[in-house]
Chain A
Amino acid sequence: MTKELWKGNEAIAEAAVRGGLEAYFGYPITPQTELLEYLAKRMPGLKRVFLQAESELAAINMVYGAAAGGARAMTSSSSPGFSLMQEGLSYIAASNVPCVLVDMMRGGPGLGNILPTQGDYFQLTKGGGHGDYHPLVLAPASVQEAADLTYGAFELAERYRTIVIIAADGNIGQMMEPVDMPPMRAIPRRDRGWELSGARNRPRRIISSLYLQGEELERLNQRLQATMAEIETREVRYAESQTADADLLVVAFGSAARIAQSAIKDARARGAKVGLFRPITLWPFPTDRLRALAQTIKQVLVVELNAGQMVQDVRLAVGAAASVEFFGRMGGVVPMPDEVLARIVSAMPSASFDRDHPWAIAR
C-alpha cells in the first residue's frame, strides 16, 4: 500500500470515517479544529451525520443521543472543551452507551494556550465526571498510530459498550507524517438489543442512568466494574524498545515518548543501556508489564508534558523495585531530546556512559 502524507487531525477524521463513523458532533477549538472541518466536508457526501453543536455540552449530549440510537458516534475537542464534556461522559458511562472521543490536549489550566501538553491525564484516566467509571484511553505517538487506533476504536467501544478516548496532543494533531490509511469498512447494520429505534414489534427499551435505590445503583456499579475488570485483563496495550538489557527505563506516552525515543538513541550511542516503555492504553494502565520490567531495571525516568501525572501510576506499578524520577515541562513547552538526555545522564551511574564518545555532552 502506498503511504500518503496526512496531518494528524485529518488522519484521525479520515480513519474514523473508514472505521464506520456515522455521526459526528463537535465544536471548534484549537488544536483540533481541522478534525471538525475535515468531517464537515467528508460526512455529507457519504450521507452521514455532521453537525456543529452550540457547545461541547451540547456536542457530547448529541453524541449520547446518536449513540443511544445505535449509531457509531464521535466528538472531538481539546482540554477546555473536554472539561465541559465530563457531565455527558458520566451519563454515557452509566448508560453503557458506546462512543468515541478525541482529546487533542493543550496547555492549561484555564484557557491556557493552544500548545501541546499532556495535562489531561488525570481527567482522562481517573474519570473526569462524577462517579466510578473509567473510559478506555488510547494514546497514539504518531499520526499512523492515531489513525490505526481511531479506526479500531468503534469496535472496541461496542465490544464493551464503553467510552473510548483517543488521547493525543497538539503535536500529533498538527504534524504531518506518512500514513498507510486503513481501508473503508462497511458500517454494520444490526440491532444490538439495546439501542433505541422505536418499539415496533418488540418491547420498549429505556436508556437511563437513574437508579433511586442504593442496592440497584450498586448493582449497576458492580456491572460497570466487572466490565472494566474485563477491559483491564484483555485490552492493555503498550510498546517497548531496548528494554531487554536496559539499566534505565524511560516511561513516556504519546508525543513525549517520541522525544524520549530520540534521547534514548543518543544515550545508546554513548553506550548507556536505556530502554523505552510506552503505555498505549493509559487506562487500563500496563501495570503488570511495568512491574515485571522493574525487577531487572534499577532506574526509571518518567517523561511527561505536564507536572507529573502518569508518574503516579508508574510509582504504583514499580513500587520499591526501582527508583522513579520524573521530568516534565508544562504550559505547552515541549522539551528537546537533549533536555531528556541530560536527565537520563544525571539519573544513571556515570560508569554506564562512554566518556570518550565523540557526542558526549559537556556537563
Chain B
Amino acid sequence: MNTDTLQVVYERPAALLPVVTHYCPGCTHGVVHRLVAEVLDELGIRDITIGVASVGCSVFAYNYFDCDFAQAPHGRAPAMATGVKRVHPDRIVFTYQGDGDLAAIGTAEIVHAATRGENITVIFVNNGVYGMTGGQMAPTTLPGMRTTSSPSGRDVGTMGYPVRMSELLSQLDGPAYIVRRAVHEPGHIHRARRAIKTAFQVQQHAMGFSMVELLSTCPVNWNLTPSESLKVVEEQMIPYFPLGDFKVAAGVKELSDEHPSRQAQPAETAVIGKARSPIFGKATAGVFGR
C-alpha cells in the first residue's frame, strides 16, 4: 500500500477532547457534540468560545468540548449565557440544552433570551423525554407516547400537547435564526451541521439570537434499539416536529453556505396524532377534535 497517497478524511475534531463520553450507546447526543465541535474547528472559534451546559444528560458537555465552559442550573442556561455574553460581547457563547431543560423549567429564560435578541447560539436537543432522570414525560413527548410518568401514553386531554419551541420562538421579533433539523440519518446530519455553522456565524456577525433544534434519540428511555430509535425520529417525530427554517433574518442567507446551495427543507404542516410505534400506546381517541 502506498501510504503517500493516503489522505485523512475523518478524524476527531480538535474541539472535542479525546475522552469517552458517558452517553448511552446509540444516543445522538454524541452526534450533536461532534457537529458542534466540527463547527468550532471550521470557524476557528474554539479559543474564544464559552459554552454553557444545562442540566440533563448533556450536563457533562463541559468534559467533552475543549473550550471554556460553565454549568448552569436546570433551565437557566440562557440567563447565564446572557450574563457571560454581556460582559464578553466579543466572545462566542452557546448553550447546549435538552427539551426538559429548555421547554419546561427554563421556558421563561429561553423565551426572554430570544426576545431580547441575545447574541448567543442555542443548541437544543429534542429527544422527547427527560433522559437523565429516567425517561419521564417532557413538554415535547408526543401524544400517546408512553413514558415513566405517562405510563399509559401521553393523554393530551389531561397532560396537554407537546410544545413546538422553534415555531413558538420564531413568532418573536428578537431571534435571527431558528431552524429545526434531525440527526437520525447522514443526509440530515449534514443539514444539521450546516445549520449549526450558520447559527454560530449569525452570532459572529452579531445578528442576534440563533437556535438549532435537533430531533434526537433516547434509545434507553424509549425502550428501543438504536436503529429502531432512528426510525422513530423519521416516522413519529418529524411529522409532529416538522423540519425547516422557522426564522431566517435578512442577511443570514448571504453569510452561510447552507443557502442556497442546498435547499433547506421547507416547514411542513404538522401531521398530528398519526404516531404509532413500539413506544406509543394507542393514540388517545378523539383528543385532537376537542
Residues of A within 8 A of B172 (CB): none
CA distance A208 to B72 in the complex (A): 8
If A88-B76, A200-B48 touch, does A66 touch B112 (CB 8 Å cutoff)?
no
A362 sits at the interface (CB 8 A): no
CB distance from B217 to the nearest CB of A (A): 24
A73 sits at the interface (CB 8 A): yes
Q: Which of A48-56, A161-169, A324-332, A337-345 contacts B (4 or more CB under 8 A)?
A: A48-56
Q: Is there contact, CB below 8 Å, between A65 and B82?
A: yes
Residues of A within 8 A of B72 (CB): 61, 64-65, 91
Over the window 85-101 of chain B, the binary record of Cβ atoms lying under 8 Å from chain A Cβ atoms (1 yes, 0 no) is 11110011000000000
**Which residue on chain B has the smallest CB distance to residue A54?**
B112
**Which residue on chain B has the smallest CB distance to residue A92?**
B73
Q: Is there contact, CB below 8 Å, between A65 and B91?
A: no
A216 sits at the interface (CB 8 A): no
A280 sits at the interface (CB 8 A): no
Residues of A within 8 A of B256 (CB): none
CA distance A66 to B67 in the complex (A): 17
If A62-B86, A63-B83, A198-B47 touch, does A204 touch B108 (CB 8 Å cutoff)?
no
CA distance A91 to B87 in the complex (A): 20
CA distance A204 to B83 in the complex (A): 19
Count of A interface residues, CB-CB < 8 Å: 39
Q: Is there contact, CB below 8 Å, between B86 and A66?
A: yes
B238 sits at the interface (CB 8 A): no
A322 sits at the interface (CB 8 A): no
A58 sits at the interface (CB 8 A): yes
Q: Is there contact, CB below 8 Å, between A55 and B52?
A: no
B46 sits at the interface (CB 8 A): yes
CA distance A165 to B62 in the complex (A): 30
Choose among B50, B59, B76 the residue that contacts A69 (Cβ–Cβ < 8 A): B50
CA distance A54 to B110 in the complex (A): 11
Choose among B47, B49, B71, B87 the residue that contacts A206 (Cβ–Cβ < 8 A): B71
Q: Is there contact, CB below 8 Å, between B59 and A65?
A: no
Q: Is there contact, CB below 8 Å, between B79 and A69?
A: no
B68 sits at the interface (CB 8 A): yes
A57 sits at the interface (CB 8 A): yes
A140 sits at the interface (CB 8 A): no
Over the window 41-79 of chain B, the binary record of Cβ atoms lying under 8 Å from chain A Cβ atoms (1 yes, 0 no) is 000001111101100000110100111111111001001
B80 sits at the interface (CB 8 A): yes
**Which residue on chain B has the smallest CB distance to residue A198?**
B48
B81 sits at the interface (CB 8 A): yes
**Which residue on chain A has the smallest CB distance to residue B82?**
A62
Q: Is there contact, CB below 8 Å, between B87 and A69?
A: yes
If A61-B109, A66-B86, A199-B46 touch, does A206 touch B81 (CB 8 Å cutoff)?
no
If A198-B49, A200-B48 touch, does A51 touch B108 (CB 8 Å cutoff)?
no
If A54-B109, A65-B79, A198-B50 touch, does A204 touch B87 (CB 8 Å cutoff)?
no
Sample (12) of A-B pairs whose CB atoms are under 8 Å apart: A51-B86, A55-B108, A57-B108, A61-B83, A63-B83, A64-B72, A65-B70, A65-B83, A65-B86, A66-B87, A73-B87, A198-B47
- B-contacting residues of A (Cβ < 8 Å)? 22-23, 25, 49, 51, 53-55, 57-59, 61-71, 73, 87-88, 91, 196-201, 204-210
A199-B68, A206-B71 given; name 12 further pairs at CB < 8 Å.
A23-B87, A61-B79, A65-B70, A69-B88, A71-B87, A91-B72, A196-B50, A198-B88, A200-B48, A204-B67, A204-B68, A209-B71
